[in-house]
Chains A and B, each alone.
Chain A
Amino acid sequence: DIQMTQSPSSLSASVGDRVTITCRASQSISSYLNWYQQKAGKAPKLLIYATSSLQSGVPSRFSGSGSGTDFTLTISSLQPEDFATYYCQQSYSTPYTFGQGTKLEIK
Chain B
Amino acid sequence: EVQLVESGGGLVKPGGSLRLSCAASGFTFSNAWMNWVRQAPGKGLEWVGRIKSKTDGVTTDYAAPVKGRFAISRDDSKNTLYLQMNSLKTEDTAVYFCTTEPRHLGLDYWGQGTLVTVSS
Q: Which residue of A lies closest to B45 (CB)?
A: A98
Given contacts A1-B64, A34-B107, contact A44 B45 (CB under 8 A): yes
Given contacts A32-B104, A91-B105, A95-B62, contact A43 B47 (CB under 8 A): no
Question: Which B residues, 68 to 120, have Cβ-Cβ distances below 8 Å to chain A?
Answer: 97, 101, 104-108, 110-113
Interfacial chain A residues near B37, Cβ < 8 Å: 44
Total inter-chain residue pairs, C-beta < 8 Å: 63
B52 to chain A, nearest CB (A): 10
Interfacial chain B residues near A45, Cβ < 8 Å: 110
CA distance A51 to B42 in the complex (A): 27
Given contacts A44-B45, A46-B106, A89-B106, contact A95 B111 (CB under 8 A): no
Given contacts A49-B105, A50-B105, A91-B106, contact A43 B45 (CB under 8 A): no
CA distance A97 to B48 in the complex (A): 10
Which A residues are within 8 Å of any B CB, using their own CB? 1, 32, 34, 36, 38, 43-46, 48-50, 53, 55, 87, 89, 91-92, 94-101
Q: Which of these, B47, B104, B112, contacts A95 with CB under 8 Å?
A: B47
Interfacial chain A residues near B97, Cβ < 8 Å: 43-44
Q: Are A96 and B108 in contact (CB under 8 A)?
A: no
Q: Are B106 and A98 in contact (CB under 8 A)?
A: no
How many chain B residues touch A (CB < 8 A): the figure is 22
The listed residue with most A CB atoms (<10 A of its CB), out of B35, B50, B107, is: B107
Q: Which residue of B lies closest to A101 (CB)?
A: B44
Q: Which residue of B lies closest to A91 (CB)?
A: B104
CA distance A34 to B37 in the complex (A): 15
Interfacial chain B residues near A99, Cβ < 8 Å: 44
Q: Which of these, B35, B44, B50, B107, contacts A46 with CB under 8 Å?
A: B107
Question: Which B residues, 23 to 72, have Cβ-Cβ distances below 8 Å to chain A?
Answer: 35, 37, 44-47, 50, 61-64
CA distance A94 to B106 in the complex (A): 13
Q: Which residue of B lies closest to A30 (CB)?
A: B104
Interfacial chain B residues near A100, Cβ < 8 Å: 44
The listed residue with most A CB atoms (<10 A of its CB), out of B50, B105, B106, is: B106
